[in-house]
Amino acid sequence: MGQTSNPKIKRALVSVSNKERIVEFCSFLQEEHQVEIISTGGTLRTLLDSGVKAIDISNFTGFPEMMDGRVKTLHPKVHGGILARRDMDQEVMKENDIKEIDLVVVNLYPFVETISKPETTLEIAIENIDIGGPSMLRSAAKNNKYVGVVVDPTDYDLVLDELQKNEGCISEKRRFELAAKAFSHTAAYDTAISNYLSADQNKDFQENIFSKYQLKEVLRYGENPHQKAAFYVDSEESDNSGISNSSQLQGKQLSYNNIADTDAAFECVKEFEEPACVIVKHANPCGVATDKNIVEAYEKAFASDPTSAFGGIIALNRELDKETAARIIDNQFVEVIIAPGVTEEAIQITKTKENVRVLNTKKLGPQVKGHKFLSVTDGMLVQETDNGVVIKEDLKIVSKRQPSEEEIQNCLFAWKVCKFVKSNAIVYTRENQTVGIGAGQMSRIDSARIAASKATERGFKTAGCAMASDAFFPFRDGIDAAAEIGITSIIQPGGSMRDDEVIQAADEADIAMLFTGIRHFRH
């Protein structure tokens, strides 16, 4: 048998956990191209029950399955048939009665699905680690010069099309592409196992991280048109609600900046238990509010800074209803609306602006521990997500004047918003509404002045407002600036060398000052 760059598919080994369309696929192989099919376990039974002829792997190898199925495909006749180089291994194949296997169709035990179930024990997880499957996939992928390999049911049509176009063959280019996908599949599988076992050892950080992320879509471009970009999502099931597990109900394809800003907006709105709306522009909140219902929360958030809200991202922590959708469409140009639920009536309204992207995400649940990633040259910074929460009981009152209950609530509201504003961050609030936000300045006093300017531009009274700072005040100038515009309460982490000086400034202005003991840098 001579070498060929495009060998005909004569024999296929099929063993799949996901049996979607496998009968249809194998029927076509058999009926249209006379492919001999070897199979195992549940896949074999599925094929035989559906009238597809298939050979039991034990009959093919002449060796029985053993150890409750742990050993069935780990045999020289299997791996020899897959790994054989068609131009140089014929003699050893003949000596050992090894037949060529030209196509391997395998997907693996559902390990990730198994460990996502709360009742799964370590013992159950271990038994759901596939050994033979990854071995066959790696063998087939390595020998892609001669062998095709399929791990994804969505590729069945592609393979069948190849066989039709190429008279029962899969092109060399396609075999190579399928091999690369197979190696990615096994890498992600192994990473899931590694991460699960590492977590069981209470490790905060895993040995490998990125093979667990799967390509969701290639984007039109990145932050700028000259940059290529793509969106990857965690392959492991999560109870988190947010951009990664949302479904897009209408609108243009999400851009790189859309995704980043939507994530920032929705993570912020999740902080609030009351009906809340967050509007984000260029990665920073420009309007945040809560109220008795979602439409009033939106109206207050929009009123916080209508100019910045133009072309912004709107996140809601309640279902997008008809009334709220109508107010949004009437009020402003919006890029994205994301909510945990969207009514049919709301969609009918947003459809009048067909380019508006409407995203429906999972119902909100408790915060789940996760990680944030930041690339650096030839490296990656990884940290836990900032799940730091401050409640009334955590606050330390350091000023002479005790804050009122209303001031405490205003401070806590401002503190929740401040967490999502780029550092240096200053936030002014009153009555559960932002009135001025200063973000991302090199000095804290500049952020304070910008926040005050924003409030004045919108006609808000700053007298009686609360002020939040994401980090401590290094000097008293920020407090003096707050006093000038009538701020009556300040919430900040504390911890500066000049805390005494800062507290003294608050006391001189009769400002109530609260320390959180936790900061929220957001670079």
Which residues are marked as active site?
142, 282
The tokens describing 264, both together, are 């920032």
DSSP tally for the chain: helices H, then strands E: 19, 21
Instruction: In whole angstroms, give the CA distance from residue 95 to residue 100.
Output: 13
The contacts of residue 451 (CB under 8 Å, 6+ apart) are: 426, 427, 428, 436, 437, 438, 467
CA distance 513 to 502: 10
- 505 secondary structure, DSSP code: H
Residue 247: its H or E element: strand 247-250
How many C-beta atoms surround the C-beta of residue 23 within 10 A?
16
Q: Which of 266, 251, 275 is nearest to 329 (CA)?
A: 251
106 membership: H or E segment, kind and range? strand 103-107
Which amino acid makes up residue 275? P
Q: Where are the beta strands (DSSP E) in 21-162?
A: 36-39, 55-56, 103-107, 148-150
* The pair of three-digit structure tokens given for residue 5, joined into one six-digit string: 């760059």
Residue linked to tokens 């599925």: 46
Whole-number Å distance between alpha carbons of 17 and 511: 65
- Are 489 and 506 spatial neighbours (Cβ–Cβ below 8 Å)? no
489-492 and 466-469: which strand pairing?
Answer: parallel
| Tokens matching residue 74 | 């780990």
Which amino acid type is present at position 392?
Answer: K
| 489, HSE (Cβ side, Cα atoms, 13 Å) | 25
Return d(Cα 6, Cα 298) in angstroms, integer: 61
User: Which residues lie below 8 Å from residue 423, measured CB to CB, with a gap of 6+?
Assistant: 440, 470, 471, 520, 521, 522, 523
CA distance 337 to 371: 25
Q: What is the DSSP string of 40-73?
A: -HHHHHHHHHTT---EEHHHHHT---BTTTTBSS
Q: Contact 466/409 with Cβ under 8 angstroms?
A: no
Q: How far apart are CA 455 and CA 304, in angstroms?
A: 8
The bridge status of strand 357-360 relative to strand 334-339 is parallel
Residue 111: partners with Cβ closer than 8 Å, 6 or more residues away:
125, 128, 129, 130, 189, 192, 193, 196
- Residue type for position 457: E
Among 104, 156, 106, smallest CA distance to 131 is for 106
